[in-house]
Amino acid sequence: MSRREPTARATAPSAVHSDPSTVETSHSAQLLKWGLGWSLAWSLLALLLLLAPHSLAGQAAFQQGPEDLSLDEALRLAREFNPDFRQQESQLESARWQVRSAWGDLMPNANVSNSYGYQASGERRLGSVVLAQQPDFVNSSYNLNMSYSLNGTSLLRPGQARVQERAVEARVSGAAMGLQAEVTNAYLSVLQADAQVVQARTALERIQLNVRQAEAQVQVGAGTPLDIRRAEVQEGQAEVQLVQSENQAAAARLALSRLLGVELPEDVQMVTAFDLFEPELEVDALVNQAMGGNPVLRASRLSVEAADTGVRVARTQYLPNLSFSAGVSASVFQARDLDPLISQEMSSQGGRFDSCIQDNRIRDLLGDPPRDCASLNPQNPLVEQQIQQRIENQNSGFPFGYQRQPWNLSMTISFPIFTGLARQQQVEEARVSANNAREQLRSEELRLRTEISTAVRAVQTARRTAELQERIRLTAGEELRLAQERFRLGLASSIEVADAQANLSQAERDEITALYDFHQSIAALESLVGDTVR
């Protein structure tokens, strides 16, 4: 059952005939101006309402971000300005209005209408028969109607809409958790890119030191120009690595800015630090935590509940429908030219006078007393004056002198008997949807168990990898120190120094990658569990 809101309707005066001399009257012109004025006012109001949200959206699109950005602040900005998440949140408001609409279906509907009209003069016809000459007239009327319908569907709809609203809330929570994981990964990517820039600068400084050392060796006769050229080639490669790292850092900031929905400064600094730690993770405990806290799984459970309610709603089509209605109406008609009405009434009065004379003749034959026909004589000026006065009194009151019609009240009970198997089909489709929702819930539970176990192993592997990369980096640093010392003493060539330098740079980059892979795996696990595990 569709809900109808109270409305006020006014129709502009319309002409039945197309005679311009009768349509373009002063009254119809006033009504037209009144209608145009209200239409213009409503159009301006609608335009203002349409422009207001767009202006607010434009302000949100050009929001400026801070120069120092923490992870908590980044998460807050993303929840407030990320356009994809804002679209998800808008679904929640729509679901809330569906709940209100479902409750509104249990309330009576009311409708009030007010109309104004004009009809030109002309002949009233029934087919080819001319009934009378009708003057032009104006009319107005109002109608007030209230109705109420009740059935099983409208009774169950509020509960179903409330469950669907809770399911939308769970999906929005899931979108928030997914957004948190995305923002955390983007934030870590910026930190990783910054660390790669620092590492590239450090490596360039070490190689520049090697260039100066090779030049000193050549000056004292302990080296060759080839050693200088090798160091200079390595210096150029380090400069290329630095340029690429700086470009990756800028790209990572742009990606974070797009995800947050704000414009970040080019030199924005990430102020949240991430250190390596030993997480305490138990798969069974995390799975149990996820079964109650994962928003996607919670939304699937609510979808099952909503589907079960849908089955009950479909079955209510076998129940009777009950409806009530009550209404009152009134109208007023006023002729603009009374002469045709007076002429018709005088003609009718002449007929009544002739009938009275004929009746008196019969009475005279029967010996009955005669009737007073003088008061019916249309030739009597007093009779004509009375008729004219009566018609004038009857043709007054426009536009608000309404004459009420008797009010009406009705009640209807309908029992559906046969609908061509449509009800059976809808019940079966609702039952299939409920079964599919249960299977989807089971699939989500199995997926969640598997992904949590995999995510825990990924965290443990990333933690162990970061430890090993730290040890490799320390060993590579010692290797470079020994190679430089041997080259200074003339016991090794510049090739050994170049290899040690490349090994150390690679170990430093691998250690940075392993550290942030560990934190990204933690973020992925938290997204599955629905809560923090740090």
pLDDT at 60: 43
Structure tokens, 325: 């209605």
pLDDT at 266 over 50: yes
pLDDT at 19: 42
* Surface-to-core class of residue 479, CB atoms within 10 Å of its CB (0-12 exposed, 13-18 middle, 19+ buried): middle
Measured between alpha carbons, how far is residue 245 from residues 189, 248, 269, 509 in Å?
A: 12, 5, 16, 11
Question: Average pLDDT of the chain?
Answer: 82
Structure tokens, 225: 């120009």
pLDDT at 530 over 60: yes
pLDDT in tens, 284-312: 899 998 888 888 888 899 989 989 988 99
Measured between alpha carbons, how far is residue 205 from residues 15, 212, 370, 504 in Å?
A: 93, 11, 138, 13
Q: How confident is the model at residue 7 (pLDDT cuts 50, 70, 90)?
A: very low
pLDDT in tens, 23-59: 333 444 444 344 444 444 555 555 555 554 444 444 4
C-alpha 174/C-alpha 172 separation (Å) is 5
Residues in a beta bridge with 260: none
pLDDT at 44: 57
pLDDT at 63: 64
pLDDT at 453 over 90: yes
pLDDT in tens, 339-396: 777 777 888 888 888 888 888 888 888 888 888 888 888 888 888 888 888 887 777 7
Mean pLDDT within 475-479: 92
- Indicate if the alpha-carbon torsion angle 110, 116, 120, 121 is positive or negative: positive
pLDDT at 403: 81
pLDDT at 121 over 80: no
pLDDT at 512: 95
Mean pLDDT within 463-488: 91
* Surface-to-core class of residue 245, CB atoms within 10 Å of its CB (0-12 exposed, 13-18 middle, 19+ buried): buried
CB 298 within 8 A of CB 468: no
Residue positions counted in the chain: 534
Structure tokens, 414: 């309908």
Which one has a higher pLDDT value, 334 or 110?
A: 110
Report cis status (omega within 30 of 0) of the bond before 399: yes
Mean pLDDT within 238-265: 93
Chain position carrying tokens 């400084």: 205
- DSSP code at position 405: P
Lowest mean pLDDT among 7-11, 161-165, 173-177, 225-229: 7-11
pLDDT in tens, 57-113: 444 444 666 788 999 999 999 999 999 999 988 999 999 999 999 998 889 999 999
pLDDT at 490 over 80: no
User: Rounded to the nearest 5°, which phi and psi values hold at 416?
Assistant: -70, 130
Question: Beta strands 109-119 and 408-414: pairing type?
Answer: unpaired
